[in-house]
Amino acid sequence: MFDAVGFDAVGSFTKAFTPTDGGYIFFPSAKSGGKFVTTEEYENLSNRWQQVAGRSGRWKTGGIVFLAIFAWTALSQAVSLPPWADVAFPTIIALAMSAWLLWASLAPRRLVRDRPDVTPPRAMREARRAARSALNWRFILFCLLFSGAAFWGHVLSSDRSLGSWLWIIGGGAMFVAYLWIGFRKLTDN
């Protein structure tokens, strides 16, 4: 799905590493100094991330989710489940996928956790510019269209339930955030 909207998870991961003599510099956070990562460690991290977020990783994840949905559907048809179970299943799937992706994306931080800084922290301006460079224009425009549609669709609706208000607040906040990111990305060039 992310390929269709222009988000390159593998490219964004590799942009977090700056080539240097004999390896790479990795900044675990915006306020921390750069940590040294050897070429072999970088290649291992990249290969593992490719297995998670690359094309084959996404197909594996999709297959697992498909099988889980199939099994859940068969189970729910075979036995009578309480109504809350229909909400619990997708919630558990979403939380499990999010936890798996988060764990995999934090592998570089775990690797360099106890290493000394080899460079001083980047200026906050430079760190934010590096974060914006990981997002391409196609992804930013998709987020603007999606959040704008969610925001305006619920603003123009007569429904004022809690769910509708959450869509208005969330869609509006996301729209404003990506407008700001797009503006800052324009000024980065």
DSSP-based three-state secondary structure for 3: helix
71-98 pLDDT, tens digit per residue, is: 888 888 888 888 888 888 888 988 998 8
Whole-number Cα distances in Å, 28 to 22, 99, 178: 19, 19, 24
Q: Are 31 and 24 in contact (CB under 8 A)?
A: no
- Return d(Cα 156, Cα 2) in angstroms, integer: 29
- Return d(Cα 72, Cα 92) in angstroms, integer: 12
Say what the pLDDT of residue 41 is: 95
* E-assigned strand segments in the chain: 17-20, 23-26, 35-38
What value does the mean pLDDT take over residues 103-120?
93
- Supply angle C-alpha 20, 7, 9, rounded to 5: 45
35-74 pLDDT, tens digit per residue, is: 999 999 999 999 999 888 888 888 888 898 889 888 888 8
